Amino acid sequence: MISRRRFIQATAAAVLVPVQWMQAETKVLFSNKFKVPPLVQSTRSGADVYFDLNVQSGFSKFSEKFKTPTWGINQPFLGVTLRANKGDRVHIKVKNSLDQTTTLHWHGVKLPAKADGGPHQPIAPNAEWNTEFEVIQPAATLWYHSHQLHATGEQVYQGLAGMFIIDDDASQQLGLPSDYGVDDFPVIIQERDFNADGSFRYLTGIEDETMGKQGGLVLVNGVVNPVLKASKSLIRLRLLNGSNATTYHLSFDDQREFHIIASDGGLLEEPIKAAGFTFATGERLEILVDVSDGRMPVLQHRAMSMDMSDMEMSIWESLLMNIMSLVTDTNEENSVVDVFQIDARQVTPEKVFIPSQLVTHDNTKRKISAKRTFTLEMLTGVESLLGFSDPFTINGQAMDMERINHEVKANTSEIWTIENTTMMAHPFHIHNVQFKILAKHGEIHGHELGYKDTVLVQPGEKVQVLLNFPEFTDADTPYMYHCHILEHEDGGMMGQFVVV
């Protein structure tokens, strides 16, 4: 509520005075320190890298009042950050120290199906899973999380998620901020509700199950509304929407522009100037923020009742939207939620350098071997209440571990059309690929121009994507495609494909 009032003042000021005067007065709003997830300990011999992961339980403090039972990987809440180079052979030992079965899935990684960590690679309590794969893709901000059948939502909510960063020579030569925790920061955005005893409150009713679990408190790397003390003029944020369900519409409170440099699958061809963007669960996005002005911008989420899917807004559009959201400010849906603040008062101003070109994507035209359609459906009303049929389906079928829905040929290209017949947006995710969006309603812009493994499909929308499948084959072990709203995935909006 405080943030709302401050926001109204800022916007009112923005209407009256030139933009650069808007933040004449700044103050630190948040008191929690920004936490950088530690990098995983690894041992290396040549191109072989070894990670030792322990899926564990523990306790975390999100407020002074109580301790919350949480899960994490090598720490009490969330995972340590994995880091490897293109060309590395990664060996991961995952020990499950929980008292229930789990999995760890490497989201966005191109890899053999057996190494994917999906529902077909469960790790029983006290068991160990040893997996390995070669990193064949370019530098990117990927992530990892539990993918336990029917329990992904709950396990991720409990804390089973972390970042997986890939580096390569091409990205290192660009001079981008890349000093982890110094000018290059992981930003895992999630939200949680709490019970009176401090434990996380997960599903409490039909709305949580239908819309997916949203929460009242926003966490960044497991900390409520932290302040990031910047020491450099240009900082790189590797944002991950690790929420169970919420789609964020992010921008800074002072409407400052920044550069989007990467999408799910890695760097864009060139930086894109923007003042805001839409960010669905499962997606990643990297931005460069110039904080040489020494101010204290707050990254905010503007929840919207109307659909703002194409939100690479210009500064004026974003301002206009603020004003509009004031005018229509009658319900929760148009509220402003603070995510975190950057405190740049200690920064010694420097002229920042932003490369005009980043990397070249391989856009060669390929023969299309198959076209497939995926229709997302959700039952509402009587049928689902009575439990007559599966509430969430793709092409009329709910996830079945025994059924392979599609067979794909390795090293071929396909076009998949994802069709949303429901009243809400669904972020559709496909394992083992980084695809390009070919067509959607409206223009493809911003991070949607880059490589994607998750794409938000709006109600009534059809999105066409182009997939190039890597060389790995395995007729018996499927990969998943699914809605990344975890309660939809757990509820059946998931299917399987094998690559042969």
Q: Which residues bind ligand C2O (CB under 6 A)?
A: 105, 107, 145, 147, 282, 429, 431, 480, 482, 484
Instruction: Give 249 or 426: the residue with its C-beta nearer to Cu ion.
Output: 426
Q: Which of Cu ion, ligand C2O, none does residue 482 bind to, with CB < 5 to 8 Å depending on kind? A: ligand C2O
Residue closest to 213 by CA, chosen among 275, 267, 166, 158: 158
Residue nearest to ligand C2O (CB): 107
End-to-end CA separation in angstroms for the chain: 54
Minimum CB–partner distance for residue 127 and ligand C2O (Å) = 21
Q: What is the DSSP string of 112-147?
A: -GGGS-STTS-B-TT-EEEEEEE--S-SEEEEEE--
Burial of 346 (0-12, 13-18, 19+ CB in 10 A): exposed
284 near Cu ion (CB under 5 A) = no
Q: Which of Cu ion, ligand C2O, none does residue 488 bind to, with CB < 5 to 8 Å depending on kind? A: Cu ion
Q: Which of ligand C2O, Cu ion, none does residue 426 bind to, with CB < 5 to 8 Å depending on kind? A: Cu ion
Instruction: Say which residue the tokens 């009032």 belong to.
Output: 5
Query: 447 in helix, strand or coil?
Result: helix
Instruction: Give 142 or 304: the residue with its C-beta nearer to ligand C2O.
Output: 142
Instruction: Give 22 or 456: the residue with its C-beta nearer to ligand C2O.
Output: 456
426 near Cu ion (CB under 5 A) = yes
Q: 435-447 as b/e, with b when 16 or more CB fall inside 10 Å?
A: bbbeebeeeeebb
Q: Which of Cu ion, ligand C2O, none does residue 436 bind to, with CB < 5 to 8 Å depending on kind? A: none
Cα 193 to chain centroid distance, Å, stands at 19
Q: Which of ligand C2O, Cu ion, none does residue 483 bind to, with CB < 5 to 8 Å depending on kind? A: Cu ion
483 near Cu ion (CB under 5 A) = yes
Instruction: Say which residue the tokens 């679990």 belong to.
Output: 213
488 near Cu ion (CB under 5 A) = yes
Instruction: Give 107 or 120: the residue with its C-beta nearer to ligand C2O.
Output: 107
Q: Which of Cu ion, ligand C2O, none does residue 467 bind to, with CB < 5 to 8 Å depending on kind? A: none
State which amino acid sits at residue 235: I
Minimum CB–partner distance for residue 107 and ligand C2O (Å) = 4
d(CA 396, CA 41): 45
Minimum CB–partner distance for residue 9 and ligand C2O (Å) = 39
Minimum CB–partner distance for residue 199 and ligand C2O (Å) = 25
Instruction: Give 436 or 484: the residue with its C-beta nearer to ligand C2O.
Output: 484
Instruction: Give 107 or 232: the residue with its C-beta nearer to Cu ion.
Output: 107
Phi, psi of 14 (to 5 degrees): -65, -30
Among 456, 485, 494, 499, binds Cu ion (CB under 5 A): 485
Minimum CB–partner distance for residue 305 and ligand C2O (Å) = 27
Query: 314 in helix, strand or coil?
Result: coil
Question: 343, 229 in Cβ contact below 8 A?
Answer: yes
Instruction: Give 232 or 284: the residue with its C-beta nearer to ligand C2O.
Output: 284
d(CA 347, CA 294): 6
Instruction: Give 187 or 245: the residue with its C-beta nearer to Cu ion.
Output: 245
Minimum CB–partner distance for residue 457 and ligand C2O (Å) = 16
Minimum CB–partner distance for residue 145 and ligand C2O (Å) = 6
State which amino acid sits at residue 414: E
For residue 404, count other CB atoms closer than 10 A to its CB. 15
Minimum CB–partner distance for residue 274 and ligand C2O (Å) = 24
Instruction: Say which residue the tokens 């004031």 belong to.
Output: 326
Minimum CB–partner distance for residue 389 and ligand C2O (Å) = 23
Instruction: Give 26 or 496: the residue with its C-beta nearer to ligand C2O.
Output: 496
Q: What is the DSSP string of 388-450?
A: -S-SEEETTB---TT---EEE-TT-EEEEEEEE-SSS-EEEEETT--BEEEE-SS---GGGGS
Minimum CB–partner distance for residue 483 and ligand C2O (Å) = 10
State which amino acid sits at residue 324: M
Minimum CB–partner distance for residue 375 and Cu ion (Å) = 13
Which residues lie closer than 8 Å to 289 by C-beta, 6 or more apart? 234, 235, 236, 237, 252, 256, 258, 297, 342
Q: Which of ligand C2O, Cu ion, none does residue 147 bind to, with CB < 5 to 8 Å depending on kind? A: ligand C2O
Chain positions 148 to 167 lying near Cu ion, rule: CB under 5 A, are none
Cα 105 to chain centroid distance, Å, stands at 14
Which segments of 368-448 does DSSP mark as H helices, in order?
382-385
431 near Cu ion (CB under 5 A) = yes
Minimum CB–partner distance for residue 68 and ligand C2O (Å) = 24
Phi, psi of 333 (to 5 degrees): -65, -20
Tokens of 311: 């939100």
Q: Which of ligand C2O, Cu ion, none does residue 35 bind to, with CB < 5 to 8 Å depending on kind? A: none
Q: Which of ligand C2O, Cu ion, none does residue 408 bind to, with CB < 5 to 8 Å depending on kind? A: none
107 near Cu ion (CB under 5 A) = yes
Beta bridge partners of 377: 393
Q: Count the site residues for Cu ion by CB under 5 A.
A: 6
Residue closest to 378 by CA, chosen among 479, 457, 280, 453: 457
Instruction: Give 86 or 429: the residue with its C-beta nearer to ligand C2O.
Output: 429
Dihedral over alpha carbons 14, 16, 17, 21 (to 10 degrees): -40
Q: Which residues bind Cu ion (CB under 5 A)?
A: 107, 426, 431, 483, 485, 488
